[in-house]
């Protein structure tokens, strides 16, 4: 297994005008000393839930304030946020000494410094089989009546993606607010800011929130494109769903703001929560996103989160809780082609969003920027090419060195270079991205880069040009898992397979606050960016469609439908590959690539009720208090029927098999959501090194919503040296295939 690098590489996530940095945790409340006293910082305070219910919110606030230090007249209030729905507690400004003292007060469960989380379309609906007036879009009424709450950097209300043409008024249950002076509309029904110190409405200055919101639920916009590329009709996955924006990210995405926004969203009445942000692997009882999400699913709200951009290393996931849909990133079948052609006649695949129509087809001198032996020059670092002769030449630069891809092109341009070929490092392999480069350029894979280097070294007069071919559709190897997509296993719970699913997250076109081209005053502006931040809202929108089509389904049932119907092969009918151009493993794909139409008719679902998680959480060896913090009730694990992690009724199996251990048997209960009278038999694609037995051989249903239970026994074979192996259990009826992925981790 690849081990996680100790060095973050921000360049991998730097796309277009917004920096999608890797997800990591920054303790915001590291107290500094000022005049001998600790400065005030924000802390998250969790309290033991009191017996009874406060009559009014003001009573709850008053109780919260009773825990705060006494303030002198004129001093600013210490309370930052008061939480009423997702957790029992508050965020407050405290010194380090005050925080330590508060931990000793009766009724306090925990006090910790807040963390800062980071941010982790015309063709993607069509790529996934969503077509106007046909199929699943039509059957789900385009998500009409469903409310998607997006936690992000804000939104651009006047963008045509947020037009309310054809939209009904919001449901009567909606209680949200709109902080824009001009108000909202029937598409964008709510907009609030939770960024501390920010005055004014939740306007989007970064672009990220506008992009993710329109991906999830943007309306139809004709003629959407970037630089004339990817031209077509843009829409979100659920184009008639309502949207509510909760701005939580400014300089960063503070934990207290995220928790406050989730608290408000649940009270406002959202059906779906979409969070394209995260903070690495954290115990669930200390993970505010996991805490907020649990209360959300208790109230029937589906929660979708990005997996993170720290791939391709194993164990790099964020948002691992089993009640969250954890989404990895994959490609679509569209590329913005920029083909490098060498003097020896060879051509290679490459991509660039910038497609000049006047770049000469004649061959130009080709040089490698690192020919002088300096690493900085090889990476085309700022200032590194001032003594390198690149004027009028095509320059081969290497990816990496903590330098943005577009910044490398800027260095080539500043020193007179005519064009850039950007080659991947070995880590990123074949994964390329269409960027809005500042000069004629193309991004190529690692093996292609080596071939170009070999050609340069073979001749004294190397030449090249770039042929710009624009938008190309139909790539048969799509979807592919991209290199930056974070991988499992889950470090917090090895018994739960994560990520759950992959969806489109590379070079995704969606709404943007300003014109990327800076040539027009039109409001119809779009941009193409990449990240698991982009794949998450695809799944959020698909969940909205499923909620509209099946309003009685629980969040767990919706997740199950998405996972058990996922595609395991690409458009060419071959196994999905990763950045190495070989079959992607289960810790990259999870259950596979989302297939919305099949998810609408899964046949069977694995349902989980909120209280079913309590025995699972106790099985993680959490204390009663830690489990109680998550489920917001008093828990006594000694009186629970504690279960092993893999015993949770999850739509996958993730098992740890010790060399000296015996067999392990796990049960699953499936509910019939297909024809009343149906029967299923199983097929098993057995993981290498494991013996698998399934009982019974057939499960039979006579009515809708009927439940049946089966068991699977796993045994490790001798002399197995693999770190893990994967397989699949498939329940097959006359109309449905229900896939349940299996991963065996060998201890």
Total Cβ atoms within 10 A of residue 651: 28
Q: What is the pLDDT of residue 76?
A: 66
As a whole number, the mean pLDDT across the chain is: 90
Spatial CB neighbours of 692, under 8 Å, sequence gap ≥ 6:
684, 686, 712, 713, 714, 715, 727, 729, 742
CB 25, CB 251: distance < 8 Å? no
> Could you please report the per-residue DSSP string of 416-466?
T-SEEEEEPPTTTTT-------SSSEEEE-HHHHHHHHHHHHH-SS-EEEE
Mean pLDDT over 505-517 rounds to 85
**Token digits of residue 155:** 């939104």
Mean pLDDT over 131-154 rounds to 85
Looking at the domain covering 648-746, what would its CATH class be?
A: mainly beta
DSSP 8-state code for residue 637: G
* Active site residue ranges: 152, 208, 533
Helix/strand/coil for 234: strand
pLDDT at 543 over 70: yes
Percent of the chain with pLDDT over 90: 81
Q: Which residue has the higher pLDDT, 37 or 208?
A: 208
Question: How far apart, in whole angstroms, are the C-alpha atoms of residue 738 and residue 561?
Answer: 9
State pLDDT tens for residues 697-746. Answer: 999 999 999 999 999 999 999 989 999 999 999 999 999 999 999 999 99
In which residue ranges of the chain is CATH 3.40.50.200 found? 124-332+480-600
Helix/strand/coil for 112: strand
DSSP 8-state code for residue 287: -
pLDDT at 24 over 50: no
What does CATH list as the number for 124-332+480-600?
3.40.50.200
State pLDDT tens for residues 157-171. Answer: 999 999 999 999 999
pLDDT at 692 over 50: yes
Spatial CB neighbours of 741, under 8 Å, sequence gap ≥ 6:
497, 563, 586, 590, 591, 592, 652, 653, 726, 727, 728, 729
Which element (helix H / strand E) includes 330?
strand 325-330
Q: Does domain 335-468 have CATH number 2.60.40.10?
A: no
In which residue ranges of the chain is CATH 3.50.30.30 found? 335-468
β-strand pairing of 221-226 with 302-306: unpaired
Residue for token pair 């917004």? 18
Q: Does domain 41-113 have CATH number 3.40.50.2300?
A: no
Q: Is 140 left (phi over 0), alpha (psi -120 to 50) or beta?
A: alpha
Residue for token pair 């991205």? 433
Helix/strand/coil for 54: coil
Question: pLDDT band for position 517 (50/70/90)?
Answer: low
CB 258, CB 248: distance < 8 Å? yes
> Could you please report the per-residue DSSP string of 535-582?
HHHHHHHHHHHHHHH-TT--HHHHHHHHHHT-B-B-TTSSB-B-TTSS
pLDDT at 36 over 50: no
CB 289, CB 305: distance < 8 Å? yes
Question: pLDDT band for position 56 (50/70/90)?
Answer: low
State pLDDT tens for residues 391-428. Answer: 999 999 999 999 999 999 999 999 999 999 999 999 99
- Cα-flanking dihedrals φ and ψ of residue 647, to 5°? -85, -15
Spatial CB neighbours of 687, under 8 Å, sequence gap ≥ 6:
725, 726, 727, 742, 743, 744
β-strand pairing of 41-47 with 272-275: unpaired
pLDDT at 362 over 90: yes
* Cα-based angle 274, 275, 281 (whole degrees, multiple of 5): 135
In which residue ranges of the chain is CATH 3.30.70.80 found? 41-113
DSSP 8-state code for residue 219: P
Mean pLDDT over 665-676 rounds to 98
pLDDT at 103 over 90: yes
Q: What is the pLDDT of residue 235?
A: 93
Q: How many CA atoms lie within 13 A of 270 on its CB side?
A: 35
Question: pLDDT band for position 31 (50/70/90)?
Answer: very low
User: Whose CA is closest to 336, among 243, 443, 411?
Assistant: 443
State pLDDT tens for residues 580-621. Answer: 999 999 999 999 999 999 999 999 999 999 999 999 999 999
In which residue ranges of the chain is CATH 2.60.40.2310 found? 648-746
């Amino acid at each position: 297994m690849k081990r996680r690098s100790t060095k973050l590489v921000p360049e991998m996530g730097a796309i277009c005008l917004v920096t999608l940095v890797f997800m990591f945790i920054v303790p915001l409340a590291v107290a500094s000393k000022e005049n001998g006293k600790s400065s005030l910082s924000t802390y998250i305070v969790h309290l033991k839930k009191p017996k009874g219910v406060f009559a009014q919110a003001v009573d709850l606030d008053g109780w919260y304030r009773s825990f705060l230090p006494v303030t002198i007249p004129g001093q600013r209030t210490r309370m930052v946020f008061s939480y009423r729905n997702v957790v029992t507690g508050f965020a407050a400004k405290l010194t380090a000494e005050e925080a330590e003292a508060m931990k000793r007060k009766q009724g306090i469960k925990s006090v910790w410094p807040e963390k800062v989380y980071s941010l982790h379309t015309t063709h993607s609906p069509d790529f996934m089989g969503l077509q106007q007036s046909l199929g699943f879009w039509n059957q789900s009424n385009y998500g009409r009546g469903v409310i998607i709450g997006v936690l992000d950097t804000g939104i651009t209300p006047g963008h045509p993606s947020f037009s309310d043409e054809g939209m009904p008024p919001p449901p009567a249950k909606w209680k949200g607010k709109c902080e824009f002076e001009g108000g909202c509309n029937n598409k964008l029904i709510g907009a609030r800011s939770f960024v501390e110190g920010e005055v004014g409405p939740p306007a989007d200055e970064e672009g990220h929130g506008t992009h993710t919101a329109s991906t999830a639920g943007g309306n139809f916009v004709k003629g959407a494109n970037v630089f004339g590329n990817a031209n077509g009709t843009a829409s979100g996955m659920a184009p008639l769903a309502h949207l509510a924006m909760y701005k939580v990210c400014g300089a960063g995405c503070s934990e207290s703001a995220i928790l406050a926004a989730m608290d408000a969203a649940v009270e406002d009445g959202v059906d779906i929560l979409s969070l394209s942000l995260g903070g690495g692997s954290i115990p669930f009882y200390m993970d505010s996103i996991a805490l907020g999400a649990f209360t959300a699913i208790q109230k029937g709200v589906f929660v979708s989160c990005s997996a993170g951009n720290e791939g391709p290393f194993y164990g790099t996931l964020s948002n691992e809780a089993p009640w969250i849909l954890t989404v990895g990133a994959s490609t679509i079948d569209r590329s913005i082609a920029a083909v490098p052609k060498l003097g020896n006649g060879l051509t290679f695949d490459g991509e660039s969003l910038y497609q000049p129509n006047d770049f000469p087809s004649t061959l130009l001198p080709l040089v490698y920027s690192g020919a002088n032996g300096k690493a900085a020059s090889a990476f085309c670092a700022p200032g590194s090419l001032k003594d390198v002769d690149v004027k009028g030449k095509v320059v081969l630069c290497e990816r990496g060195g903590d330098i943005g891809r577009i910044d490398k092109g800027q260095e080539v341009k500043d020193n007179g270079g005519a064009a850039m070929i950007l080659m991947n490092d070995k880590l990123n392999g074949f994964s390329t991205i269409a960027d809005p480069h500042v000069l004629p350029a193309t991004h190529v894979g690692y093996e292609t880069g080596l071939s170009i280097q070999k050609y340069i070294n073979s001749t004294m007069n190397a030449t090249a040009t770039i042929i710009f071919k624009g938008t190309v559709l139909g790539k048969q190897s799509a979807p592919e898992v991209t290199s930056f997509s974070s991988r499992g296993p889950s470090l917090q719970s090895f018994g739960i397979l994560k990520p759950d699913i992959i969806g489109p997250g590379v070079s995704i076109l969606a709404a943007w606050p300003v014109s990327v081209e800076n040539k027009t005053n039109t409001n119809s502006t779009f941009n193409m960016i990449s990240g698991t931040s982009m794949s998450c809202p695809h799944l959020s929108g698909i969940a909205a469609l499923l909620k509209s089509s099946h309003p009685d389904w629980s969040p767990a049932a919706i997740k199950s439908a998405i996972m058990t119907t996922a595609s395991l092969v690409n458009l060419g009918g071959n196994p999905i590959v990763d950045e190495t151009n070989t079959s992607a493993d289960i810790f990259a794909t999870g259950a596979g690539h989302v297939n919305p139409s099949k998810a609408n008719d899964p046949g069977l679902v694995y349902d989980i009720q909120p209280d079913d998680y309590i025995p699972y959480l106790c099985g993680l060896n959490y204390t009663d208090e830690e489990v109680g913090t998550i489920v917001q009730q008093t828990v006594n694990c000694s009186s629970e029927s504690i279960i092993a992690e893999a015993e949770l009724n999850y739509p996958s199996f993730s098992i740890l098999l010790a060399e000296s251990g015996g067999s392990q048997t796990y049960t699953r209960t499936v509910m019939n959501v297909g024809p009343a009278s149906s029967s299923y038999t199983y097929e098993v694609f057995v993981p290498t090194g494991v013996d698998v037995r399934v009982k019974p051989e057939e499960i039979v249903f006579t009515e809708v919503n009927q439940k049946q239970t089966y068991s699977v026994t796993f045994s490790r074979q001798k002399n197995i040296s693999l770190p893990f192996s994967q397989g699949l259990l498939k329940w097959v009826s006359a109309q449905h295939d229900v896939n349940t992925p299996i991963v065996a981790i060998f201890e």
